[in-house]
């Protein structure tokens, strides 16, 4: 038996706030995805109207910890201006970090700071390159290069591995109270004239891994980052019928995204960043599932909990 908190405190909820491509539709807003974990929201891209999507789908925007931008195309960043000001009106005082590809900081600062009179908290725009972008005791978020018409990064969200105690074995060994902290530090404790090793009463719970990849052609960097991932979130702007157009615009087809998931041995694939030409996503889904069965196409408001 694993301690009761194991499942509850490791839940990660992903909400697709906007799933459209370059232009919104009646049913799809511009790209933005919220990853909620341990009371914080990590926001990936911030298309126009993202703040309204928070309200529409019942997310608390005051929980936003950081914003991670894939690239500086308008459909992925314009929502920052309104979101920052709404947070200010809602009396935010905590500093907000926005991570953007190195060299694009001025564009993001213009959105963040053109009206400083109404922003009463610090907004920091931080340049990123390949590698670790943010690391805390719960998560490590790293960036990897994609292949788009401008400098673009995907993100790997990796939950920290955790040591979990086996309640019945710990009790049988006489471990209780402060002794749990002691054995975590020392790895071995003398209890009732016996040595108790940490490994005998616990196991290592491997952290979940989520990959966010948009806008991009299929990349080996994505495939490598997504190896064994619980979830790959990948753009699928077109079907294979428009593969030549996808190559020209440096986007991916549903089949190409599915091939990445298959080669990476990911557990699940969710497609988003859907061209406005597709009123029905059945063709996209069918195409992807022929390559990688465990695929879904996200609509706005789609949620998944890992």
Mean pLDDT in order along the chain per 10 residues (306 residues): 48 97 96 97 98 97 97 97 94 96 96 81 96 96 98 97 86 86 85 86 88 98 98 98 97 98 98 97 98 98 97
Structure tokens that stand for 244 in this block: 């030549």
User: Would you state the pLDDT for residue 32?
Assistant: 98
Helix (H) or strand (E) holding 98: strand 96-101
Catalytic annotation present for 161: no
Q: What is the dihedral of CA 206, 235, 284, 295, to 10 degrees?
A: 0
Supply φ then ψ for residue 249, to 5 degrees. Answer: -90, -5
Map residue 205 onto helix, strand or coil.
strand
Provide the pLDDT for residue 50.
Answer: 98
Phi, psi of 85 (to 5 degrees): -75, -35
Q: What Rg, from alpha-carbon coordinates, does the chain have?
A: 22
pLDDT for 169 equals 87
Helix (H) or strand (E) holding 194: strand 194-197
DSSP class per residue in 37-91 = ETTEEEEE---TTHHHHHHHTT--GGGEEEEE-S---HHHHTHHHHHHHHHHHTT
Are 164 and 156 within 8 A, CB to CB?
A: no
* pLDDT of 2: 44
Domains of the chain: residue spans and CATH: 5-161+206-305 (3.60.15.10), 163-203 (no CATH)
- Report whether 31 contacts 271 (CB < 8 A): no
Closest CA to 15 of 43, 38, 51: 43
- Please report the pLDDT score of residue 1 as a whole number: 40
Query: Which residue among 9, 45, 75, 138 is the active-site one?
Result: 75
């Amino acid at each position: 038996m694993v301690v009761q908190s194991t499942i509850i405190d490791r839940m990660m909820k992903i909400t697709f706030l906007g799933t459209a491509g370059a232009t919104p539709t009646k049913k799809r807003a511009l790209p933005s995805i919220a990853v909620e974990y341990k009371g914080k929201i990590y926001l990936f891209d911030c298309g126009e109207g993202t703040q309204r999507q928070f309200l529409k789908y019942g997310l608390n925007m005051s929980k936003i910890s950081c914003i991670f931008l894939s690239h500086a195309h308008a459909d992925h960043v314009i929502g920052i201006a309104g979101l920052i000001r709404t947070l200010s009106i809602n009396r935010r005082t905590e500093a907000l970090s926005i991570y953007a590809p190195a060299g694009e900081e001025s564009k993001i600062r213009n959105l963040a700071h053109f009206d400083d009179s109404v922003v009463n908290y610090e907004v920091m725009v931080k340049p990123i390159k390949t590698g670790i972008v943010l690391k805390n005791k719960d998560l490590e978020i790293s960036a990897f290069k994609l292949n788009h018409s401008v400098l673009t990064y995907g993100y790997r969200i990796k939950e920290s591995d955790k040591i979990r105690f086996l309640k019945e074995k710990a009790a049988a060994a006489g471990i209780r109270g402060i002794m749990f902290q002691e054995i975590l530090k020392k790895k071995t404790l003398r209890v009732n004239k016996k040595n108790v090793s940490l490994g005998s009463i616990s196991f290592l719970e491997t952290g979940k891994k989520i990959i966010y990849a948009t806008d991009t052609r299929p990349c080996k960097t994505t495939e490598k980052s997504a190896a064994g991932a619980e979830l790959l979130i990948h753009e699928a702007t077109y079907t294979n019928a428009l593969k030549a157009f996808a190559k020209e615009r440096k986007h991916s087809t549903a089949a190409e995204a599915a091939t990445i998931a298959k080669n990476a041995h990911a557990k699940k694939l969710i497609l988003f960043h859907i061209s406005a030409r597709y009123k029905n996503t059945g063709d996209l889904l069918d195409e992807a599932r022929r390559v990688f069965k465990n695929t879904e196409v996200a609509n706005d408001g789609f949620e998944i909990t890992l």
